[in-house]
Amino acid sequence: MPISKERFKIIPAVYLVLKKDGKILLSRRYNTEHEDGNYSLVAGHLEGNESFRQAMVREAKEEADIILNSDDLKIAHITHKEKTINDDGERVDIFLTANKWKGKIKNMEPDKCDDLKWFSVNNLPENMVFYVEHALKQIGKNKFYSELGF
CB atoms within 10 A of CB 114: 15
Q: On the CB side of 100, how many CA atoms lie within 13 Å of its CA?
A: 3
**CATH number for 112:** 3.90.79.10
- What is the DSSP secondary structure assignment for residue 70, as one 8-state letter? G
* pLDDT recorded at residue 75: 98
C-alpha–C-alpha distance, residues 45 and 15, integer Å = 9
- Please report whether residue 5 resides in a domain: no
Q: How many domains would you assign to the chain? A: 1
Is the model's pLDDT at 99 over the cut of 80?
yes
* Rounded CA separation 12/18 (Å): 20
The C-alpha atoms of residue 104 and residue 110 are separated, in whole angstroms, by 16
Q: Are strands 74-81 and 42-45 parallel, antiparallel or unpaired?
A: unpaired
pLDDT at site 117: 96
Q: What is the pLDDT of residues 11-31, one digit of tens each?
A: 999 999 999 999 999 999 998
Q: Which DSSP string do the residues of 62-104 spell out, in sequence order?
A: HHH--B--GGG-EEEEEEEE---TT-SS-EEEEEEE-S--BS-
What are the tens digits of pLDDT across the range 49-89? 999 999 999 999 999 999 999 999 999 999 999 987 777 78
Show the domain range for 120.
11-148
pLDDT number for residue 2: 66
| pLDDT per position as a tens digit, 30-59 | 988 888 899 999 999 999 999 999 999 999
Model confidence pLDDT, tens digit, residues 103-150: 999 999 999 999 999 999 999 999 999 999 999 999 999 999 999 999
Rounded Cα distance, 150 and 49, in Å: 29
Per-residue pLDDT band for 1 (boundaries 50, 70, 90) equals low
- Kindly report the pTM of this predicted structure: 0.93
